[in-house]
């Protein structure tokens, strides 16, 4: 399995010495960016696993990389998941409250109607 900051062996033809050269793992997305990214719209993203446990993203054909730690990405994933669960709970609570309020309005309207008769 390749690691962050992968290095490959390179031999020097003239001296016969070998050294390690950085060779980060790179991949490219299948789809391009949406129109909300302005001049980068329709460009695919190039992702590389760089030394120091960094994920680097850049639009294809540009030299504007953005890097983030793998651990920060993992933390963000957990936060987003927790927020999604809390939002689902809040929506269920809101729906239950709306149902209860609608039933109370209906009961009040029926009491007023029967009282006036």
Q: What is the pLDDT of residues 27-50, one digit of tens each?
A: 999 999 999 999 999 999 999 999
pLDDT score recorded for residue 4: 85
Residue 116 has pLDDT above 80, yes or no: no
* Residue 4: closest CA among 43, 40, 55: 55
**3-state secondary structure (DSSP) of residue 51:** coil
Residue 44's pLDDT is 96
Q: What share of the chain is helix, strand, coil (3-state, %, to 5)?
A: 45, 30, 25
- Extents of the domains making up the chain: 1-64, 70-117
Among candidate residues 1, 19, 17, the one with its CA nearest the CA of residue 9: 19
Share of the chain above pLDDT 70, in %: 99
- Against a cut of 0.85, is the pTM above it? no
The pair phi, psi for residue 41, each rounded to 5°, is -60, 145
- What average pLDDT does this structure show over 88-94? 98
């Amino acid at each position: 399995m390749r690691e962050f900051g992968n290095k490959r062996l390179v031999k020097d033809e003239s001296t016969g010495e070998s050294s390690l050269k950085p060779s980060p793992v790179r991949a490219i997305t299948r789809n391009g960016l949406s129109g909300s990214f302005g001049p980068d719209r329709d460009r695919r993203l190039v992702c590389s696993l760089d030394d120091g446990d960094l994920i680097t993203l850049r639009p294809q054909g540009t030299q504007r990389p953005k890097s983030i730690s793998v651990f920060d990405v993992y933390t963000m994933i957990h936060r987003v998941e927790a927020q999604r669960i809390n939002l689902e709970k809040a929506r269920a609570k809101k729906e239950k409250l709306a149902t209860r309020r609608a039933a109370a309005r209906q009961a009040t309207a029926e009491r007023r109607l029967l009282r006036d008769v």
